[in-house]
Amino acid sequence: MKKTFPLKLKRAYEAPEAADGVRILVDRLWPRGTSKDSIRIGLWLKEIAPSHALRKWFAHDVAKWPIFRGRYFKELDGNPEAVAKLREQMRRGTVTLVYGAKDREHNQAVALAEYLVTKQARA
């Protein structure tokens, strides 16, 4: 039987809660206007974020979302060390992927969570 894992997503501007577990920032850039104390990040995994070029190309354009996801998944496939580091945290308990984007449905944390769940189902 495959183990499921508790995974949450939250904007950096939302208040941290005890139920968040370990909060992992998955942005390449620190969220504007926030302090380390205010968002209580346990781990900043910059290396799991989309490349600078992909992030700039996407520019949070919803029309580019399907292509962005595919390109980001390829980047993640090529970055097994960062994915393994995240999975290790997930094996320990609840993980909240923290992101700065305004769009709650079309951002790298949503794509990353989908990638992790999809890859877990295949494992």
In a domain, 1, yes or no: no
Q: What is the pLDDT along the chain (123 residues), one digit of tens a residue?
A: 345 568 999 999 999 999 999 999 999 999 999 998 889 999 999 999 999 999 999 999 999 999 999 999 999 999 999 999 999 999 999 999 999 999 999 999 999 999 999 886 555
Q: Which domain holds residue 96?
A: 7-122
Instruction: Write the CA distances from 23 to 1, 26, 119, integer angstroms.
Output: 27, 9, 21
pTM: 0.91
Distance CA 40, CA 58 (A): 28
Number of domains in the chain: 1
pLDDT score at 103: 96
**Does residue 52 sit within a domain?**
yes
Rg (the chain; Cα; Å): 14
61: in domain: yes
CA 66/CA 28 separation, integer angstroms: 21
- Beta carbons within 8 Å of 39's beta carbon, 6+ residues apart: 12, 16, 23, 25, 31, 98
115 domain residue, yes or no: yes
- Give domain status of residue 101, yes or no: yes
Does a structural domain hold residue 2?
A: no
Could you tell me whether strands 43-44 and 95-99 are parallel, antiparallel, or unpaired per DSSP bridges? Answer: unpaired
Answer yes or no: is 66 within a domain: yes
pLDDT at 104: 96
Which pLDDT value is given to residue 102? 95
